[in-house]
Structure 1
Amino acid sequence: SISTLKNRIAKIRPEYTSVDPVDRLVHEPGQAAQMDLWFPEPRIPVGFGQSMMLPVLVMTLSYSRVFNALMVPSRQGPDLTAGMWSLINNVGVVPKTLIWDRESAIGGKGKVTEIAAAFAGTLATRIILAPPRDPEFKGQTERNNQFLETSFLPGRKFTSPQDFNQQLAGWLPQANARAVRSIQGRPIDRLPTDLRAMTRLPPVPPATGFSHRVRISRDYYVRLDRNDYSVHPSMIGRLVDFTLTMDRVIGVCDQQVVADHPRCWVKHQVITDPEHVQVAATLRSAFNKIRRTTSSHVHEPVVEARQLSEYDKIFGLDGHDFLGDPS
């Protein structure tokens, strides 16, 4: 049958395919930085008695092999662009190319997403997506992921994402000062040459993180990234602009901060500012007092009631006996 024939051909086809040679790449200073997500196995405590496996954004400079990493709240585009900006800002200059695999928030369908393209445009760089099923395209950062797994994690415990990032930041200088066989030297020694060939940071930081405009209801909470955050009750009925960074949730109305909370990395939680609850209680008490005062001065209108005999006169039934002959 045709199915048997196709199966047999599929087995012998590799014997007739040509060889696909791989060249040794030459990385020019400042040319590229490889980006990837690393998922460490330990579950990190994130509050409210919960622990999660969180992604770590890893950036490796192709020429110097210097790498940096940062744990981020999620794989969503706003969080990834915020993480990229944090890593690039720490370097102080911008690589000419950012190499990504086909991460869904960056280019899952083979085309750079709108949020990633806007981020790259602000930094005057470009994003190159790796071919599908080709991890060697960004092998440097893949090897650094394995290096983090075997050299950073063992023997460590973490109490929060912030603790993870703090310990990682303290370990990275030591990692970048090690000797690397492929460059026959230390990454930190090649870093100045790499930085001189990169472009400057933009005069205005790129837009990163989540941005929402919400009209506040009587329930003075707003749902952002699947969590509810309280807002100053005086904003009920008004439009408030919210910004979610990796660390904070900030609401602004008329250039005034009306909500400021630490960002919760857990989902489906309620985060309340005690001051907002006190203000709500004061406003509710004043409203109830006004309502009682208004209701005490309002009298029921007096409605005149007609005598039943008046209706008999109107319908011409005056003096008639409804149970017998009127005569």
Structure 2
Amino acid sequence: MIKVEDWAEIRRLHRAEQIPIKAIARRLGISKNTVKRALAADEPPTYRRAGGGSIVDAVEPQIRALLAEFPEMPTTVISERIGWQRSMTVLKDRVRQLRPLYRPVDPASRTTYQPGELAQCDLWFPPVKVPVGAGQQAGLPVLVMVMGYSRWLMARMIPSRAGGDLFAGMWMLLRMLGATPKTLVWDNESAIGQWRGGRPQLTTEASTFRGTLGVQIVQCRPGDPEAKGLVERANGYLETSFLPGRSFTDPDDFNTQLEGWLGHRANTRHHRRIECRPADRLVTDRAAMVALPPVAPVVGWRSSTRLARDHYVRIASNDYSVHPSAIGRLVEVVADVQQVRVTCGGQSVAAHPRCWAAHQTITDPAHAQAAAAMRRARLQLATTPAADTPVQQRPLSDYDTALGIDTGQGVVA
């Protein structure tokens, strides 16, 4: 077998110098057949050593038969079935080569999206703690949504992953978008739902939310991250491109910086997959989406309770004061990511900014003053002495006469 250099020289002499085969053979000291084979070969010669066989070759038909029926059979079980008494290393190597031939193929799908078709949603937990007040810092979730057709990216930090905050955050993003995709793709987030018995089951909050919007919520199968690869890559992009070198004073500052970066950087960059900017496709994408409902969906924290004597209501581990005039009456509590409102009989009895810190007591000074005045009035009522009213007193002899008692003056008949 000739070397690569000789093969290249033969082809040069024949093609460029127009030297006959016989002359090339004489010049290089090789046979004419070797020169002919070199000219006929389009690829350089490579050395291939003939295989010497393996001790597994004799039992390979048995291995193939077992894998054809049981593709996932462990190598240890295969060795028992075929009575293997030799090295397990060579057997494992051969089984490793043969198993893919019998295992069902699971190729990754490359999906294309139609305008308005869907958005992929996820929670991103940035590795940074944000001041939330009361001297506390917390690692808060960021709700991320990516439109399938335009790749338009939206994100916003929310107080928690609980359903009340999650759906309130989704509604805020959809209102900013001005429409809603026909399908929202989620993984098995606890507030969305979970797979039971091989079937997805949405929570009551998720079913109510999608019903009001008139769209579909699709839950990915467990262990299938490729099903929402768009938002998974967006999470990585946020962590590597938005987060480095930034500091935040509070969640509002985080959202302000994030919104500015999304508008001026993320959604105006050239996207390699779609060969344009997300902003260039947004109009077409939004035009094919479902219009927002005329009545906003019920989102946030909502509850009804009879106000106790301490006149406080609890939302996500925090207590908020209510005007004490509502004590003992039924109050309606509504909270979103920004505000907590309490009404009684249609009248507002409390309004507080939402506290993102944990285990805090938020008191309105007006509520505290009203409670103190009511306590003083009740105490004064309890300590006021009774009025000194004259009462007529009857002689005791009147009672003796009525009961027929002898008082020495004779018995009354």
Fold match by TM threshold 0.5: yes
Higher relative contact order (CA 8 A, sep 6+): 1
Matched, 1:171 2:261: yes
Query: C-alpha deviations, 1:153-204, integer Å up to 9, x for none?
Result: 1111011111111111111112100000000010000111101111111010
Distance 1:138 1:288, change over 3 A: same
Match of 2:172 among 86, 93, 101: 86
Match of 2:371 among 256, 280, 288: 280
Partner of 1:250: 341
Distance 1:197 1:225, change over 3 A: same
Segments of 5+ residues of structure 2 without an aligned counterpart are 1-72, 79-91, 392-413
Amino-acid identity (%) = 52
CA distance in 1, matches of 2:311, 2:105: 65
Instruction: Using the TM superposition, give the Cα deviation of residue 223 of structure 1 relative to its aligned residue in structure 2, in angstroms.
Output: 2.1
Q: Which amino acid aligns with 2:293?
A: P
| Structure with the greater alpha carbon radius of gyration | 2
Match of 2:126 among 36, 40, 50: 40
TM-score scaled by length of structure 2: 0.69
Partner of 1:26: 112
Partner of 2:297: 206
Instruction: Using the TM superposition, give the Cα deviation of residue 298 of structure 1 relative to its aligned residue in structure 2, in angstroms.
Output: 8.2
Segments of 5+ residues of structure 1 without an aligned counterpart are 302-327
Instruction: Using the TM superposition, give the Cα deviation of residue 225 of structure 1 relative to its aligned residue in structure 2, in angstroms.
Output: 1.7
SS of corresponding position for 1:199: coil
Deviates more, 1:216-225 or 1:148-157: 216-225
Distance 1:298 1:121, change over 3 A: farther
Instruction: Using the TM superposition, give the Cα deviation of residue 108 of structure 1 relative to its aligned residue in structure 2, in angstroms.
Output: 2.5
Question: Which runs of structure 2 are paired with 1:1-327 in the superposition (5 Å)?
Answer: 8-9=76-77, 15=100, 16-109=102-195, 110-174=200-264, 175-293=266-384, 295-297=385-387
TM-score scaled by length of structure 1: 0.86
Instruction: Using the TM superposition, give the Cα deviation of residue 237 of structure 1 relative to its aligned residue in structure 2, in angstroms.
Output: 1.0
Instruction: Using the TM superposition, give the Cα deviation of residue 29 of structure 1 relative to its aligned residue in structure 2, in angstroms.
Output: 0.4
Q: Which amino acid aligns with 1:257?
A: S
Partner of 1:304: none
CA distance in 2, matches of 1:48, 1:22: 48
CA distance in 2, matches of 1:53, 1:108: 24
Instruction: Using the TM superposition, give the Cα deviation of residue 296 of structure 1 relative to its aligned residue in structure 2, in angstroms.
Output: 3.4
Query: C-alpha deviations, 1:191-236, integer Å up to 9, x for none?
Result: 1110111111101000000111111122121222211111101111
Query: C-alpha deviations, 1:103-124, integer Å up to 9, x for none?
Result: 1111233311111011001000
Instruction: Using the TM superposition, give the Cα deviation of residue 6 of structure 1 relative to its aligned residue in structure 2, in angstroms.
Output: 5.4
Partner of 2:397: none
Q: Which amino acid aligns with 2:376?
A: S
CA distance in 2, matches of 1:235, 1:113: 33
SS of corresponding position for 1:252: strand
Instruction: Using the TM superposition, give the Cα deviation of residue 18 of structure 1 relative to its aligned residue in structure 2, in angstroms.
Output: 2.3
Q: Which amino acid aligns with 1:226?
A: S
Instruction: Using the TM superposition, give the Cα deviation of residue 151 of structure 1 relative to its aligned residue in structure 2, in angstroms.
Output: 0.8
- Check the 8 A contact 2:213/2:292 in 1, yes or no: yes
Q: Which amino acid aligns with 2:190?
A: S
CA distance in 1, matches of 2:163, 2:204: 9
SS of corresponding position for 2:111: coil
Query: C-alpha deviations, 1:83-130, integer Å up to 9, x for none?
Result: 111111110011000000111111233311111011001000000111
SS of corresponding position for 1:42: coil
Distance 1:9 1:146, change over 3 A: farther
Instruction: Using the TM superposition, give the Cα deviation of residue 7 of structure 1 relative to its aligned residue in structure 2, in angstroms.
Output: 7.0
